[in-house]
């Protein structure tokens, strides 16, 4: 990576093709841009602002150079023609293409991003979202690592991170936290506080579960109930709002990180919600089967195999129409 980027502002970074590609592809940790940011933590704030700009502008395929030259030539001629026909005391200012692009970039960012961008840049708030059918790895300003499962989001204040390590989570994520001051994850159901450890959080719909893999984790509900977890322990929120603590197998792993999803007497509509998130499809269940209980495993690698793993033992029929999948108890006509 070139040292010139150390002098770039957010707009200039957001104009770099390599940076745009990296952001659009999910900010992969094996990309040179990620390594550059790790080596230059003082650029974190500028980078986060540039990411917001990239995500706020819909970039289209480049125009071929010949067409661009012809287009700019026509524009230049048009400007000159209009200027010649106007009053003589009107001064014509010629702008180069880079300046024009920069102005267009500012205008587009302001129009498309609007208040959201303004608030994010000046408050320091930034968010990351793993879309359906994908996971996302992210490095926090203190080098703590996060893996977001599909259809999950985090949000935190990058400007105040050195003073307060706190973020909010919607969905599911695995955390590897660097040692330091208290690290807090806030969810719809409660908060998780640690100093330096690794753990997984599931906070979606009406389910809340925390699994500690290393270190110690304190889980506290909004009602004030709390529990401390050691490695290979998990807690979940039951229907009465109590935190239930369980011991797991030694050195137990977090299954979703290996793309494995296990269910033990779970309603079918919950199982297929997971299928929708992992494969970015829409599943329609025949009325009357959504609450049937499923026990089994599927891998989020191959959609057809996952559907067979769920439907075959339950004698269900599968009808696929593009990205819409119909599940029925008996074979129906198409």
Same domain flag for 107 and 130:
no
Residue 300 DSSP SS3:
coil
Residue 333 pLDDT exceeds 90: no
Based on the structure, what is the number of domains in the chain? Answer: 3
Rounded mean pLDDT of 167-181?
95
Q: Decide if 291 is inside a domain.
A: yes
Which range marks the domain in which residue 186 is found? 126-257
For residue 67, what pLDDT is reported?
A: 46
Same domain flag for 252 and 182:
yes
pLDDT band at 84 (very low <50, low <70, confident <90, very high): low
For residue 109, what pLDDT is reported?
A: 47
Q: What is the CATH number of the domain that holds 230?
A: 2.60.120.1440
Alpha carbon distance 109, 121 (integer Å): 12
Residue 246 pLDDT exceeds 50: yes
pLDDT band at 96 (very low <50, low <70, confident <90, very high): very low
Q: How many percent of the chain have pLDDT more than 70?
A: 77
Q: How many CA atoms within 13 Å lie on the side-chain side of 38?
A: 14
For residue 83, what pLDDT is reported?
A: 46
Same domain flag for 43 and 104:
yes
Alpha carbon distance 93, 91 (integer Å): 6
Say if residue 25 is exposed, middle or buried (CB neighbours under 10 Å; 0-12, 13-18, 19+): exposed
């Amino acid at each position: 990576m070139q040292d010139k980027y150390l002098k770039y502002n957010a707009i200039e970074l957001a104009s770099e093709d390599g940076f745009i590609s990296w952001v659009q592809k999910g900010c992969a940790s094996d990309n040179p841009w990620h390594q550059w940011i790790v080596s230059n933590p003082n650029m974190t704030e500028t980078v986060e602002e540039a990411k917001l700009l990239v995500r706020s502008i819909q970039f289209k395929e480049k125009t071929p150079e010949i067409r661009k030259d012809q287009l700019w030539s026509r524009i230049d001629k048009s400007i000159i023609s209009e200027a010649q026909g106007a009053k003589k005391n009107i001064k014509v200012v010629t702008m180069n293409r880079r300046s024009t692009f920069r102005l267009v970039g500012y205008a587009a960012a302001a129009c498309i991003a609007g208040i959201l961008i303004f608030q994010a840049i000046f408050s320091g708030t930034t968010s990351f979202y793993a879309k359906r059918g994908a996971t996302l790895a992210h490095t926090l300003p203190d080098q703590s690592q996060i893996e977001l499962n599909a259809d999950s989001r985090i949000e935190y204040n990058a400007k105040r991170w050195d003073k307060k390590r706190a973020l909010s989570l919607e969905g599911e994520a695995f955390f590897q936290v660097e040692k330091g001051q208290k690290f807090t994850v806030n969810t719809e159901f409660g908060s998780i506080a640690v100093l330096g450890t690794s753990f997984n959080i599931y906070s979606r719909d009406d389910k809340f579960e925390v699994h500690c893999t290393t270190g110690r984790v304190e889980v506290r509900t909004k009602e004030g109930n709390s529990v401390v977890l050691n490695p290979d322990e998990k807690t979940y929120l039951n229907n009465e709002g109590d935190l239930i603590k369980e011991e797991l197998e030694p050195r137990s792993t977090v299954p979703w990180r290996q793309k494995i999803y296990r269910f033990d007497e779970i309603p079918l509509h919950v199982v297929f919600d997971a299928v929708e998130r992992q494969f970015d499809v829409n599943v329609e269940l025949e009325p009357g089967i959504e609450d049937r209980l499923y026990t089994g495993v599927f891998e989020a690698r191959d959609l057809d195999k996952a559907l067979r793993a769920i439907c075959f033992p339950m004698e269900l029929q599968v009808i696929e129409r593009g990205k819409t999948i119909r599940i029925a108890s008996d074979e129906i006509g198409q």
